[in-house]
Amino acid sequence: MKDPDHTTRPTVRWAIWAAGILVIGASLAVYAARTRLVAIPLCVAEAVPEQARLVGDTWVWLERTNGATKVVSVRSGRRVVLAAHEDVVSLEASPESVAWIGKAGDAWEIRTARIDGSNASTAASMKERPLAVWTDGSRLAWVVEIPSPATAANFLPPLGPQTQIWLAAGGAAHPIAEVAEGFVSAQLRGMLNGTLYLAGVRNEGIRSTVLYAVSPAMPPRRFAAEIGARSTLMTADGRIYWTAPSRGSNSLLTGCVRSAEPGKLEPTTVADWLPAGGRLAETARGVVVTGAGTETAWLVSPQKRLGVPLPMLPDQWPVAAGGHVLLTVHRAKTPGRVVVSTVGMR
């Protein structure tokens, strides 16, 4: 006697196979959609963002045009110009406030405002051009150069220009330290346990970057020096990172990232064989190098002791990083109109 289900079994098998293929196809489609790189438009800027950083859900950066330099914040696609100056030297942002150094006529001003642009005020004004500013919302610090006498031998640091660090807390500002070196540019990277971390660039034919730990009532401690103008970063855990010439390659096109633990301040190489140059940024995935002259950004991998290139769309150029995204600009730019987007890090 024939099995009554004999004629229906092939049909059932094919139906099961078809259902399985559809499930696999749908899963692959979902995976592809989740992993596909997409540039999400953020805003249209007047120039390529400089010194950009992500603070919470707000991007803050500088836009340099022929007429002025603007301090800009962008949140949820809304671009707000916080200030415009003839020139802006330094920019820093915290969740509570933004600080910058702007030129106003013949004077330079240390300016602060809330992240949305409200409560703007001038913390200090001076004739000499300050080098760097830093804020965490409750404290404000800046760096100025003390000129040397005209007859001084500037190539000898003790006889040349000096660098003075000022700190304002609760409205009162006072100098807390002097460094026996003059800088053409500087960065204040942050404060941890009462110690400020300063990076300065010397220009004596061959530029060099030096890093200092500055504590009130204590001599400044110089803990690292590298040839060239270098990018520096303090991460949320207080660790200091900086770019440097490669320790494993003789090529000038190759660099590395070095680091020092707060307190110990003993430099160590965390990743080598990276593109030379670039700007460091802290992200949810770790430290990232952008703008190193390559097509994409690089994730610093202490485990591999190498850099990992991050996938990037061919029409986008990464200029900064923060959170889970890269800040990018479209390669096809027109004067006065730069499309700024974010691309998720994969």
pLDDT digits (tens, 9 = 90+) for 206-263: 899 999 999 988 899 999 999 999 999 999 999 999 999 999 888 888 999 999 998 8
- 256 close to 273: Cβ distance less than 8 angstroms: yes
- 242 close to 209: Cβ distance less than 8 angstroms: yes
Q: Which residue has the tokens 């289900």?
A: 5
How many CB atoms within 10 Å of residue 49?
A: 24
Please give the angle made by the CA atoms of 67, 73 and 77, to the nearest 5 degrees: 110
Please give the angle made by the CA atoms of 220, 177 and 204, to the nearest 5 degrees: 65
Pick from 8-12, 120-124, 157-161, 276-280: least confident:
8-12
Reported as type and span, the H/E element at residue 324 is none
Does pLDDT of 52 surpass 70? yes
In order of 129, 180, 209, 243, 279, the CA distances from 184 in angstroms are 10, 14, 10, 18, 18
What confidence score (pLDDT) does residue 186 get? 96
Q: What average pLDDT does the structure give for the chain? A: 87
Does pLDDT of 35 surpass 60? no
Q: φ and ψ at 26, to 5 degrees? A: -65, -40
Q: What is the mean pLDDT of residues 138-146?
A: 94
User: Could you give the CA distance from residue 293 to residue 314 in angstroms, rounded to a whole number?
Assistant: 14
Does pLDDT of 203 surpass 50? yes
Does pLDDT of 87 surpass 70? yes
What confidence score (pLDDT) does residue 315 get? 92
Closest CA to 289 of 304, 272, 313: 272
Closest CA to 222 of 262, 185, 251, 265: 265
Please give the angle made by the CA atoms of 105, 111 and 112, to the nearest 5 degrees: 160
pLDDT-derived band of residue 18, with 50, 70 and 90 as boundaries?
Answer: low
Q: Chain-centre distance of CA 188, in angstroms? A: 12
pTM of the model: 0.85
User: Could you give the CA distance from residue 68 to residue 279 in angstroms, rounded to a whole number?
Assistant: 24
- 269 close to 256: Cβ distance less than 8 angstroms: yes
What confidence score (pLDDT) does residue 34 get? 45
- 171 close to 183: Cβ distance less than 8 angstroms: no
What confidence score (pLDDT) does residue 13 get? 60
178-197 residue pLDDT tens: 998 889 999 999 999 999 99
DSSP letter at 182 equals -
* Strand order through the sheet with 268-275: 232-234, 240-245, 254-260, 268-275
60 CB-contact burial (10 Å; exposed 0-12 / middle 13-18 / buried 19+): buried
